[in-house]
Amino acid sequence: RAVHAARAAFESGPWPKMKPADRQRVLFKLGDLVLEHADELARLETLDNGKPIFESRQVDIPMVANCFHYFAGWATKLAGETLPVNPAYFNYPLREPLGVVAAIIPWNFPMIMVGWKAAPALAAGNCVIVKPAELTPLTAIRLGELALAAGVPPGVLNILPGKGSIAGEALVRHPGVDKVSFTGSTEIGRHIMKAGADTMKKLTLELGGKSPNIVFADADLDVAVKGVAAGIFYGKGEVCAAGSRLLVEASIADEFVAKLAERAQKLKPGDPLDPKTRLGALVSEKQMNTVLGYVETGTKEGAKLVAGGKRAPINGKGWFVEPTVLDQVDNAMRVAQEEIFGPVLSVIRFTDVDDAVKQANDSPFGLAAGVWTRDVKKAHAVARRLQAGTVWINMYNFYDAGMPFGGYKASGFGRDLGPECLRDYTQVKSVWVSIE
């Protein structure tokens, strides 16, 4: 029914034919409504996901509004150009929407991911079906209501909660869906590629990561310690781009790891609804057990636990895990190669620039990377050599609606955000006109 509603809205509703300036106004209004309801939405997000209200209120919800405000502006700017092929013809490309886009959303950023995908898809004139993760559907549902209030016509943005294996799978196989934009595990991403082949789905896949955060000896170490800690502990480490491998230059490694471990020990999990809390609860008991299982695997493989490693219940309850640092990790170990998706940092030493780049790239994933150095030349040279869709230099985990985000290698293809993603939500028709 959701696909039929979206198809009808696309084929005979007002949205794709609307004046771009009107579409822009509606999407901008939706951005405003998100900000007006920021407290309510942030609370829903925290209740659903367990992330601290500080993060939901200061980062997630403003980012969702940022997406709608930014992409609203694109509705009026998706221009083509005339192409000089032959004086006998007038040639121009028409950039058109794809039709119906299914956005399949993970539980770690339940509302941000809707903003990342729905805002550009709608700006380009598509109709959208959002399938939130089964654990975290609340903010997407509320956004659907706000979209109607903003003037998005019925059928244009459909929110379809349900299980991945049922609702998600049905969208991936449905002939009435033109494109699937998915963020989630590499395993399900591979499955979606195969399952979508019969109906020739266009795809954007943003998948897992095991991102290296590379600290050179010439970095401002105090700033780097803070950045590396935030890079893995922000969002409880349930972040695709989490800097989950620390690559640290051997000459400063002991000093750096000691500072990091001290910082990790000071960061205590707390009630996610308390505005002072900076580390929340993992999303589920299952996820907590996966994360704790990896800590055990790491120590069995020979890593040295220098901070955390345990469950940290509050009043005997909750899926809280201490910020954890595993030192003496070898890049071949499972805790260096597999995505843990929790507050667990694996520390690996390197000897020089070539060794750092080699170990950083020795991963199936290529989502993001960090480089910490005061040497400008080294920073840019290393950024070019890293196989990653995002490189942060002397910063980590920053995002903006205007900057493309996505993966190299097994971290996927296609891009969310930035002007780049609009290519992935449109198709080009070449029009030829005889004028002689």
Give the dihedral of Cα atoms 394, 416, 278, 140; nearest 10 deg.
Answer: 170
Site for ligand ADP in 175-204 (CB under 6 A): 184-185, 188, 191-192
The residue (of 65 and 133) whose beta carbon lies closer to ligand ADP is 133
Pick the closest to residue 231 from 395, 381, 366 (CA basis): 395
Pairing of strands 412-413, 324-327: unpaired
**Inter-residue contact 132 to 158 (CB < 8 Å):** no
Of 37, 51, 117, 131, which lies in the binding site for ligand ADP, with binding defined by CB under 6 A?
131
The residue (of 95 and 191) whose beta carbon lies closer to ligand ADP is 191
Of 114, 122, 133, 345, which lies in the binding site for ligand ADP, with binding defined by CB under 6 A?
133
338 catalytically annotated:
no
Site for ligand ADP in 153-172 (CB under 6 A): 164-165, 168-169, 172
Pairing of strands 368-372, 390-393: parallel
CA distances from 292 to 243, 315, 335 (A): 18, 20, 12
The residue (of 74 and 294) whose beta carbon lies closer to ligand ADP is 294
- What's the DSSP call for residue 416? B
Quick check: 282 binds ligand ADP (CB under 6 A)?
Answer: no
Q: How far is the CB of 290 from ligand ADP (least distance, A)?
A: 9
Of 104, 140, 232, 239, which lies in the binding site for ligand ADP, with binding defined by CB under 6 A?
104
**Residues sharing a CB contact under 8 Å with residue 206, sequence separation 6 or more, in sequence order:** 182, 183, 240, 367, 405, 406, 407, 411, 412, 414, 416
Question: In 364-394, which positions are buried (b, 16+ CB within 10 angstroms) versus exposed (e)?
Answer: ebbbbbbbbbeeeebbeebeebbbbbbbbbe
- H-run or E-run covering 430: strand 426-434
DSSP per residue, 76-108: TT-----B-S-TTEEEEEEEEE-SEEEEE--SS
The residue (of 160 and 391) whose beta carbon lies closer to ligand ADP is 160
- Choice among 67, 127, 240, 421 that is catalytic: 240
Helix axes 112-123, 138-150, angle to 10 degrees: 30
Q: How far is the CB of 423 from ligand ADP (least distance, A)?
A: 23
Distance CA 110, CA 103 (A): 11
- According to the 3-state scheme, what is the secondary structure of 215-241? ECCCCCHHHHHHHHHHHHHHHHHCCCC
Site for ligand ADP in 211-250 (CB under 6 A): none
Q: How far is the CB of 203 from ligand ADP (least distance, A)?
A: 12
Distance CA 406, CA 240 (A): 10
Quick check: 335 binds ligand ADP (CB under 6 A)?
Answer: no
- Sole window of 15-23, 49-57, 99-107, 350-358 interacting with ligand ADP (rule: CB under 6 A): 99-107
- Sole window of 67-75, 127-135, 401-409, 424-432 interacting with ligand ADP (rule: CB under 6 A): 127-135
Of 105, 215, 282, 295, which lies in the binding site for ligand ADP, with binding defined by CB under 6 A?
105
Quick check: 134 binds ligand ADP (CB under 6 A)?
Answer: yes
240 catalytically annotated:
yes
The residue (of 338 and 362) whose beta carbon lies closer to ligand ADP is 338
- Choice among 45, 55, 169, 206 that is catalytic: 206
Counting residues that bind ligand ADP (by CB under 6 A) gives 17
Footprint of ligand ADP (CB under 6 A): 104-107, 131, 133-134, 164-165, 168-169, 172, 184-185, 188, 191-192
Catalytic site residues? 206, 240
